[in-house]
Amino acid sequence: MLYERIFAPFHNGSDYAEADCNNEFLKDFMRGKKKLTLGNFMIILRSSRETALQTFISRTYPDAAQRVFGAQGLVATLNDVGMLDIRNKAAHDEVLSRDEAQQTRAWAMQILEQV
């Protein structure tokens, strides 16, 4: 959903190019060399240096400032410290407990509500 709502339109439907980006992963994505992962999304969205992306998001989603960048917004949810360990376990094929799986589901639903 993050890719479809934010990154694909930034890449395909905006006036921005790789030269407008600072993060090397985002530049490579704009060049068509790399695909972005959830970990990349987290780093790129929270970067204050990615002003072109932030401007694009704000223009595309007029209420985005609070929903994406606010204290309880998308960036804060993606970077929830408590979820990083669980997300890393899931990404590396470690077994999650039932509680961790439920936490992950709730976390994913929070993200979906914000995009």
Helices then strands, counting H and E runs in the chain, come out as 9, 0
Instruction: Compute the chain's Rg from CA coordinates.
Output: 15
36 burial type by CB count under 10 A (0-12 exposed, 13-18 middle, 19+ buried): buried
Secondary element (H or E) of residue 33: none
In 3D space, the residue among 28, 63, 65, 59 whose CA is nearest the CA of residue 45 turns out to be 65
Residue 69 has pLDDT above 80, yes or no: no
Query: pLDDT-based confidence at 68, cuts 50/70/90?
Result: low
* pTM, two decimal places: 0.70
Query: What is the rounded distance in angstroms from the CA atom of residue 22 to the CA atom of residue 61?
Result: 22
- 13-27, 37-51, 70-84, 101-115: range with lowest mean pLDDT: 70-84
